[in-house]
Structure formats: structure tokens, C-alpha cells
Amino acid sequence: MQPFFQFRTAEFTDNCQTTLHQQAGLLQADSTWQSDNGQLQFTDHFLLGGVQLTTMRGNLKQPLKLELDVERPWTAMLYQLDGQINSKSCAMRPLHIGHGHQNVMGDETTKNHYTFQGQDYASFSVHVEPEFFTQLVVGNEEWLTIHRARLDRIDPFVLLPPGIGISPKQRAIIQQIIECPYSGALKKLFLEARFLDLFIEQQTLLTQMKTRSSSRDRDTLHAIRDFLDTHYAEPPSLLELARLFGTNDFKLKKGFRELFGTTVFGYIAERRLTVAWQLLTLTDQPVQEVAESVGFVNAAHFATAFRRKFGQTPSQVRRVPHAHYADLVSMR
């Protein structure tokens, strides 16, 4: 069974010994690295179907920098139990997974450089073929929503740049895999079952996170709309508005349209004209002042936009305000 990756750094490979154990439908590779900088033990289990389970444990006196060759494309679930791992260009972007965090990523680049750190170091990872990962998620619509954009991908990816915490249930499953008491065919079945348990638990956490995130995003968008209801005359730019509410302009533009059926500036324009109608029908404020008070600098542009929306000019509405009172009430 071909591994997904190989460490190539001479200082590492020259001080590393590996023993292979072939069992029914299962290949196990036990490796030990030891030097003046510390020691690490690796256990790789290669399951049929293109699944590689890797446990890495030990201690490091100084950060260990390794070059890794990607042998074939993979999608990985990474769990940093102790210590941390960093890469300046993993999956074509910086990667950091700190103590107690996890992430999902995919890589097809031929080389990467990682830095492992931690007096006590422990990590667990699952590497699968991208096609197999796709088969696992397509049967669940919630999972598919999370991963759809990265299925059949060409470019490498890191799903969650900051990562998310490892749950107690995940730690328990990983510990069961590490301490598997069985051998032979039973061990293979046990590891396959625990792998699926771990996969399902991770997708459940990602779904919950997406749901919470979606709820927060909706609350933020409603708050932005309320803000625009009173700041329509002199609204901030999209970038300023996004920063004011702790989001970014892309999420603001996309989310606002999806939730309210119009763009931010479309909503502002609508609000300006609605308020202008109210002022024209309920006050004696001159048309020019009305235009300026709702944010129109040019009276001609105001008249054009007003007529396009209401089918009448501002002056026509001003002349017969009471005739439009019922229309005004219906707009409230």
C-alpha cells in the first residue's frame, strides 16, 4: 500500500528506523526517530480503500523542521493532541494547528515543509483519497453543503484556517484507535469502525459550527439593516460598514442579498425614497430639502429615482399629499 507522503529531511531519515507488520487486509508501519533534539514514535495503519491512520508521539527539545514529499493527492483530517504544527505554505497557504485543535485540508503539491513543536508532542491524522472523501460526504446534504466547493477540486485547501477544538468524544475515539487491543482481521474491522465514528463526529461538529455561524451572521445582517434604517442619508462605505459590525465586505454583500433580496446600496436607495415619500406627504419641507435630507445631492437624480419607484414626481405628490395617505400607511 502506497503512503500518501514521505519525510525526506536527511537529519530525520538518517535517524529513523521502521518495522513493517502485515496482517489480514492491514499493513502497520512502526517508526522511531531519535536524536539529540528528542524522540518521536510513528504508527501508520494502511487500510483497504486508501485510508492511512497516523499517530505521532514523543518529545522535542527544539522545533523540528521536516520536508515532506506528497506521493499522491489526499484529503486529511488532522488532530493536534499536544504541541503544535506549522507550515508556511502547506496547501499553498500558511497553516497553524495548535494544541487541542483540528482541521481538514487537501494537498496535491509535491513538496511541503513543516515545523513540529512541543516538549510533549502528540498528533493523529487520517489521510484518504479525495474520491473516497467525496463518497463519504455526498450521502449527507448537510455535509455536502460544507464541502461542496472543494469536491472535485484542483487547488489545495485548508478548510478552517484557525481550526476548531477537538471534542472529548473525538479524543476518546482517537485513544481507542491508539490503544486498539485486537490483531488480525478483528483489528482491521475495529480501526475501520473507529475511523468512521471519528469522521461522523467531525462532520457533526462542522455542521454545528456552520449552524451557529449562520445564526450569528443573520443576527449581524439584521443589525446592519437596522443601522441603515437610521443612517441611510450618509451611510459608510461597504468596507467601513463591514468593519463596524465585525465582518468582511464579501460576506456582507453576499449575505445581505441572500437574506433581504437586495443589495446594501439597493436597500439604502429604497429606504431613502420611502422616507422621502413620508416627508413629502406629512410635512411642508421643500422638495429640495427633502432630497438633501435623505441623501440625494442632485435634485434631478432624486426626481428621476422617485418617479421610477412611485410613478409620480416629488412635486406631484406634494400637491396632493392627502390623496396618498393610504399609500403611506400601506408602506409602514
Q: What is the structure's pLDDT at 6? A: 86
Q: Average pLDDT, whole number, for the chain?
A: 88
pLDDT (tens digit, 9 = 90+) per residue, 8-40?
888 888 899 999 999 888 999 999 999 999 999
pLDDT of residue 76: 93
Highest mean pLDDT among 44-53, 99-108, 165-174, 273-282: 165-174
In this predicted structure, what is the pLDDT of residue 288?
93
Q: Please, are residues 322 and 315 in contact by the beta-carbon 8 Å criterion? A: no
Q: 73 pLDDT exceeds 90?
A: no
Q: Are residues 33 and 85 in the same domain?
A: yes
| Global confidence as pTM | 0.68
Residue 30 lies in a domain: yes
The long-range contacts involving 321-326, CB below 8 angstroms and separated by at least 24 positions, are 321/280, 321/281, 321/282, 322/281, 324/277, 324/281, 325/281
Which one is predicted more confidently, 213 or 46?
46
**HEC-encoded secondary structure of the chain:** CCCCEEECCHHHHCCEEEEEEEECCEEEEEEEEEECCEEEEEEEEEECCCEEEEEEEEEECCCEEEEEEECCCEEEEEEEEEEEEEECCHHHCCEEECCCEEEEEEECCCEEEEEEEEEEEEEEEEEECHHHHHHHHCCCHHHHHHHHHHCCCCCCEECCCCCEECCHHHHHHHHHHHCCCCCHHHHHHHHHHHHHHHHHHHHHHHHHHHHHHHHHHHHHHHHHHHHHHHCCCCCCCHHHHHHHCCCCHHHHHHHHHHHHCCCHHHHHHHHHHHHHHHHHHHCCCCHHHHHHHCCCCCHHHHHHHHHHHHCCCHHHHHHCHHHHHHHHHHHC
Same domain, yes or no: 294 and 201? no
Instruction: Return the ∠ at Cα 132 (arms to 129 and 137), rounded to 5°.
Output: 130
Query: Which pLDDT belongs to residue 157?
Result: 82
pLDDT of residue 213: 64
Is 128 within a domain? yes
The residue ranking higher by pLDDT, 43 or 92, is 43
Q: Residue 153: inside a domain, yes or no?
A: yes
313 in the same domain as 200: no
Judge if 149 and 248 occupy the same domain: no
Q: What is the pLDDT of residue 113?
A: 84
Q: Is residue 79 within 8 Å of 49, Cβ to Cβ? A: no
Question: Are 239 and 95 contained in the same domain?
Answer: no
Give the pLDDT confidence of 90-117 residue by residue, as tens digits. Answer: 655 677 899 999 999 887 667 888 899 9
Does 203 share its domain with 256? no
Pair (68, 186) in one structural domain:
yes
The pLDDT of 308-323, averaged and rounded, is 77
- Look at residue 220 and tell me if it is in a domain: no
Which CATH number fits the domain that encloses residue 17?
A: 2.60.120.10
Q: Report how far residue 159's alpha carbon sits from residue 102's, in angstroms, rounded to the nearest whole number.
A: 10
Q: Give just the sign of the alpha carbon dihedral 239, 243, 248, 250.
A: negative
Say yes or no: 178 and 247 in one domain: no
What CATH number should be reported for the domain holding residue 255?
1.10.10.60
Asked if the model's pLDDT at residue 259 lies above 90, the reply is: no
- What is the predicted pLDDT for the residue at 139? 85
Residues 80, 176, single domain; the answer is yes
Boundaries of domain holding 267: 231-332
What per-residue confidence (pLDDT) applies to 325? 47
In a domain, 222, yes or no: no
- pLDDT at residue 329 in the model: 46
Could you tell me if 81 and 32 are in contact, meaning their C-beta atoms sit under 8 angstroms apart? no
**Quick one: 131 and 9 in the same domain?**
yes
Question: 50 pLDDT band (50/70/90 cuts)?
Answer: confident
* Same domain for 193 and 261: no
The answer to whether residue 224 is domain-embedded is no
Q: Give the total number of structural domains in the chain.
A: 2
Examine residue 221 and state whether it is found in any structural domain, yes or no: no
Which residue carries 472523501 as its cell? 133
Render pLDDT for 178-234 as a digit per residue (tens, 0 to 9).
999 999 999 999 999 999 999 999 999 988 887 776 788 888 998 999 999 999 999
Instruction: Judge if 250 and 168 occupy the same domain.
Output: no
pLDDT, residue 332, reads 47
Using pLDDT thresholds of 50, 70 and 90, give the confidence band for residue 262: confident
What letter represents residue 200's amino acid?
I
Residue 64 has pLDDT above 80, yes or no: yes
pLDDT of res. 108: 65
In a domain, 219, yes or no: no
Which of 54-63, 153-162, 236-245 is the least confident region?
153-162
Q: What is the per-residue pLDDT for 203? A: 94
